[in-house]
Structures are given as structure tokens and as C-alpha cells.
Amino acid sequence: MRATAFGLDVRSEVTLRLLEGSSAKPTGRALALSIHAGDAARRDWPESAELVCDERQPDGKVIFRIEAHPVAGYLIFGPEYGAYRLSADGKRLHCIPGERSAGAWQRLLIAQVLPFAALLRGLEVFHASAVVRDGEAIAFLGPSRAGKTSLALELCRRGARFLADDVLAVEPRAQRLLAHPGTAVAGVDRSPDEEERKADRFSRNDVLAVNDREQLVRMQDASDPAPLAALFFLDRRADGPERPAFEPAADARLLLAATFNFVLASPERLRGLLEVCALAARLRVERIVVGPATGSPELSAAVQERLSYSR
């Protein structure tokens, strides 16, 4: 199969369910993906590789780990997700899912591995969800559970086009930032207070996979990259206002800290990150202070009003 996501043209020998449905146009950055069985992850992997990321749950359980070697590339492994060997140039990816379900191993593929490959190919990635409105990309940044996905989905219900969920790949182009479509999949929170309210939003055919934290649903994605026009940082506070409050995001560290990946710290990547942040600083960059009682319908209405008022 062939699918374009995060600015990469993925070429796979088998159909990948979480990459199906992508309508993004090819970019010319080919990534050859192959699937292997058995112990292929550690086979010929250098013992001198360095552990560069060790993400764990509060109880110490490993979520995923990343090892790096200047020649062999990167080994990404998660007990629930399998293993992935990514070449140092970001052009070849070997997936070793083991006995994991497609919904499990492909989840890490689209959430971490492909964005990592995009970084290696010269793009930058933000921890953001995004939509396209009037031909321009609008990005929503913030920590996990800030409401980025819920806001993006609500704006899509109001006529926007889905662009990316949780990870947004951007590329400097002619002194602007071009925002690339991610996958045509969104991870919808399954917390008890949200589940009943969201149950009627998606048909059974839309749901691709379900785990303890979320359900992965099929989205109708944007087919073309779009110029990035605005970045909104969601600041959800226990003592926040009743109505969303917009204020300039004057602290440049917000943009620098918004990258999705702190592992890759080569001089080339850091120069690219600084260039992207400098271009982003020229755009509308605002913080949205939100109270605990503000839901995604109220927040999306406020964002629409803000964008319309500024035109």
C-alpha cells in the first residue's frame, strides 16, 4: 500500500489499517516500510547503541524506549507495541510487531515512529492537533488531556477539515510554515465522563481500534498541506475563567517546548527547530485560558468567534 502522512510517502508491503484512508498527496519523501517476525529487532543491533529515551508510567512500567546508534539508526520498543528499527536517514523502517494486534503496534507507529522519521527527513513536529479552516491550518497545542483532540473534532463538526491529531508536522517553505496532514485517525478519550457524551459521534464502522485509554476513529482528512496561520496554546486551569480568555503568548519558550520530540538533538535538527519557531512567532500565537467547566462546544465557538473577529 501507499499512504502519505506527516510529509512522508509510506510504502508498505502489506495494508496498514491505521494508514488507510489517507488522501494526502505524495511529497517525494519515500519511506520504505517492511514487517518482520521473530527476534529481528535485536538481530545485528549494535551492543554499543545508546539509550536515549526511557518513557515509563508512574508505577515504573516501560511505555517505550529508544536506543540510538550513528550507523544502525534507532531502535524503538514498547512492551505493548512491539519494536521498530528506523534507519539513521529516516528512509527505511522495519516493524517487528510480534503477537501484538494491529491496533496496538500500528498505534505506536503513527504516534511516535512516523513522526520521528519525519524529523530525520528535515521536518519539525509539534505536540498539536490541527484543522484546516478557509484554506489555512489552525493548530492547538498543549499537554496531554488539555483538550486538543476534542477541540479539533468539534471544529470539524462545524465545517473545518481534519488535519492532524496530537502530532503536527510542519515544513519551512518560502518564509512560511506548511502544515502537513497526519493520518486519517483521531484518538478519542474514553474517560467515563466523556464516553457517554461522545458515544453518538461515531458509527461502529468509524472505530478502528479500542484500548483502555481511547478509541481510534477514522476521520475524513485534508488532502493537501496548508499554510499554518495560527497556534493556540490550551491552558486549562482549575481556577480558570467561565469563558475562554485569549491572551498573547509572549514567552518564546512556549514554542520551543512545543516540539513533540526532545530525543533528536543534532545540530541540524536544533537549527531547524529554531528556524521553525522563528517563523511561527510571526503568526498569531495565543494562549487560551480555560476553566474546568468549559467543554469543547463552548471552546470551539469561542475559537471560531476569535478567528472571525480578527479577519
Helix 296-309 with 148-157: angle, nearest 10 deg: 70
**Which of 54, 70, 52 has its CA nearest to residue 62?**
54
Q: Residue 42 pLDDT more than 80?
A: no
Radius of gyration of the chain (CA): 19
Q: How far apart are CA 142 and CA 146, in angstroms?
A: 6
**Which of 293, 299, 259, 304 has its CA nearest to residue 277?**
259
The pLDDT tens digits of the residues spanning 275-284 come to: 999 999 999 9
Q: How far apart are CA 157 and CA 41, in angstroms?
A: 42
Please state which of the ranges 28-32, 234-238, 248-252 shows the lowest mean pLDDT.
248-252
- Mean pLDDT across 34-50: 87
The pLDDT tens digits of the residues spanning 212-233 come to: 778 889 998 788 999 999 999 9
All structural domains of the chain: 2-121 (no CATH), 126-184+220-309 (3.90.228.20), 186-218 (no CATH)
**Which of 126, 130, 136, 140 has its CA nearest to residue 288?**
140
DSSP secondary structure code for residue 26 in this structure: P
Q: How far apart are CA 6 and CA 167, in angstroms?
A: 8
The pLDDT tens digits of the residues spanning 134-187 come to: 999 999 998 877 889 999 999 999 999 999 999 999 999 999 999 999 999 998
| C-alpha cell belonging to residue 75 | 531502535
Residue 198's pLDDT band (cuts 50, 70, 90)? very low
The pLDDT tens digits of the residues spanning 90-134 come to: 999 999 998 899 989 999 999 999 999 999 999 999 999 999 999
Q: How far apart are CA 228 and CA 137, in angstroms?
A: 5
The pLDDT tens digits of the residues spanning 46-80 come to: 999 999 999 999 999 999 999 999 999 999 999 99
| C-alpha cell belonging to residue 149 | 483532540
